Amino acid sequence: MFEPYRLVLPIVWLMSILMSPLARSQSDPATIIATGNNRGAPACSQCHGADLNGSPAAQIPGLRGQSQAYLVEQLQNFADGKRHNPLMQMVASHLDEADIHALAQYISSMPIHNLVSHRPKVPSLGKMLAEEGDPVAHIPACLSCHGPYGEGVAPYIPFVYGQPAPYLRTQLNAWHGGQRPDGFGRLMNNIALRLSPEMIESVSCYFAAFSADQKATSGCPIPVASHTDLGQEPENQVKSMQQKIIDQGQRIFDDTPANASAYAWGGLSCQNCHLDHGLRAESAPLWAAYPIYPLYRKKNSRVITFAQRMQNCFVYSLNGKAPVLGDPIMVALEAYAQHVAHGQKIGVFLPQHGYPPLSKPALVPDMQRGQQVFVQHCALCHGNNGEGRRSHLNFRVFPPLWGDDSYNWGAGMSRYGTLARFVFANMPYTAAGTLSNQQAWDVAYFVDAHERPQDPRYTESVMQTQKLYHQQTDSLYGQFISEHQLGSMPLDIHP
């Protein structure tokens, strides 16, 4: 039976909170930052500075512009001790949920300033790790998840550029020692475990050097960058023409839509299938592919050159248009591949060629199980709808796995067996090996059961195209999923 009087007290209480100046001041983020709240939380600015730029000389990070969900999570983790920091635990325990969300929203909307606009130029171990990683040690480039400047990827991957070196060093050591959880398959723990003290020191100094405040890098053993260096490209002046073309090739490889925009306008780059700049052993590395071309390829029914193989990538995996052979873009990519393959033996098949083999699963791959795997292990980076994610500076960081911006039905990845091999060997990024064989097959099946751009070889009808190109493969092209026939997108004719 409905008893309306029972609602009176709660409503009055709620209204008193929402309307009283005291309640408002308690949750007003600007006030909390400046003076703290009336339940004992001290002012954020006391340690993080009046403009929340952090304290470069101490271990205190800048907060301005950090992503909302990340800030909420950290404050919650401080409060319940998951992220160990006695001072911040005390602070956070005096913030209620409303304070936390209001602060996070307010702080995340503050523009970041106090940054220089270029990457540190002085070569260092940290620069190498941050920008290139160390594929042999299975350390991916920091920038491959944190964005091309370390600017962070909402909602969960924080910016790191410009943070004080002592703060970064402490955090990496905490991940290394397991004192800081990341809640997502131990992604950062996995990486930090592979870092030596020298690496941690140097990479911390690298990111601190993005700060315009020189105190951010105080204590760094070498000058990571002087401000007069920035905006110039001093080392480029002595680079050979050859090296310049190789560098250009790598830029195209790493961000194809940005650097070959006439030929790739979707969300994928070469390095999305060939991880870590094409160097990672488990994901069809360039150094195992380049030496074996020209090669007879069944898909083409003829011997093709490495350049022609790359043309296929443009047409299918990038869902773009192939530059003509000899186009400067093709030459740069070939020069980069040759550089990466330096010292490999011509014509010799390495075991790392392609993706590693994967045995068949015990159970027939399943949509529902695949979706569970996706939500738990993939959505963090690839988005809840497989749409991929961009960084705070709007750079594409994680690729879309289906939809208009993903690879098309002609790509090798659209065969879920191929995708399962890739996933099992490489995903989750930095935590490869944590998915079971069955999980890899299930999630690959789930991904493949979504619509993507039409196969450029489309002929007459989906049925005919399926018959011609997909019949003996494990692609789901032409199959019905929830009454939708996959492969129904109109063939996109790009200019």
Binding site for a second copy (CB under 8 A): 240-242, 245, 290-291, 293-296, 302-305, 307-308, 324-326, 331-332, 334-335, 338-339, 341-348
Task: Determine the 3-state secondary structure of 304 from DSSP.
Answer: strand
Pick 294 or 383: Cβ nearer a second copy: 294
Pick 102 or 245: Cβ nearer a second copy: 245
Pick 105 or 242: Cβ nearer a second copy: 242
Q: Which two tokens stand for residue 90?
A: 């005390």
Q: Name the residue type at position 246.
A: I
Query: Least distance from C-beta 281 to a second copy, angstroms?
Result: 17
Q: What is the largest CA-CA distance in the chain?
A: 85
Q: Name the residue type at position 379.
A: A
Query: Least distance from C-beta 121 to a second copy, angstroms?
Result: 23
Beta carbons of 99 and 52 less than 8 angstroms apart: no
Query: Least distance from C-beta 284 to a second copy, angstroms?
Result: 17
Distance CA 163, CA 395 (A): 20
* φ, ψ (nearest 5 deg) of residue 196: -80, 165
Query: Least distance from C-beta 340 to a second copy, angstroms?
Result: 9
Query: Least distance from C-beta 395 to a second copy, angstroms?
Result: 27
Q: Which two tokens stand for residue 244?
A: 């310049």
Pick 150 or 249: Cβ nearer a second copy: 249
- List 303's β-bridge partners, or say none: 296
Beta carbons of 442 and 366 less than 8 angstroms apart: yes
Query: Least distance from C-beta 246 to a second copy, angstroms?
Result: 8
- H/E stretch holding 75 reads helix 68-79
Through-space distance between the first and last CA atoms of the chain, rounded to whole angstroms:
67
Taking the C-alpha atoms of 263, 268, 271 and 273 in order, what is their torsion angle to the nearest 10 degrees? -120
Distance CA 17, CA 27 (A): 10
Q: Which DSSP symbol is given to 141?
A: -
Cα 184 off chain centre by: 13
Residue whose C-alpha is closest to residue 41's, from 106, 90, 84: 90
Pick 249 or 478: Cβ nearer a second copy: 249
C-alpha to C-alpha distances, 187 to 143, 425, 432, nearest whole angstrom = 14, 15, 10
Distance CA 387, CA 410 (A): 19
Query: Least distance from C-beta 138 to a second copy, angstroms?
Result: 23
The angle subtended at Cα 78 by Cα 77 and Cα 82, nearest 5°, is 50
Task: Determine the 3-state secondary structure of 362 from DSSP.
Answer: coil
Pick 210 or 336: Cβ nearer a second copy: 336
Query: Least distance from C-beta 195 to a second copy, angstroms?
Result: 30
C-alpha to C-alpha distances, 64 to 35, 102, 104, 151, 397, nearest whole angstrom = 17, 14, 10, 12, 21
Query: Least distance from C-beta 241 to a second copy, angstroms?
Result: 4
Query: Least distance from C-beta 459 to a second copy, angstroms?
Result: 23
Pick 237 or 359: Cβ nearer a second copy: 237
Pick 127 or 339: Cβ nearer a second copy: 339
Beta carbons of 96 and 41 less than 8 angstroms apart: no
Cα 128 off chain centre by: 18
Pick 264 or 304: Cβ nearer a second copy: 304
Query: Least distance from C-beta 472 to a second copy, angstroms?
Result: 19
Q: Which DSSP symbol is given to 475?
A: B
Q: Which DSSP symbol is given to 139?
A: B
Query: Least distance from C-beta 273 to a second copy, angstroms?
Result: 21
Considering only CA atoms, give the Rg of the chain.
25
- List 296's β-bridge partners, or say none: 303
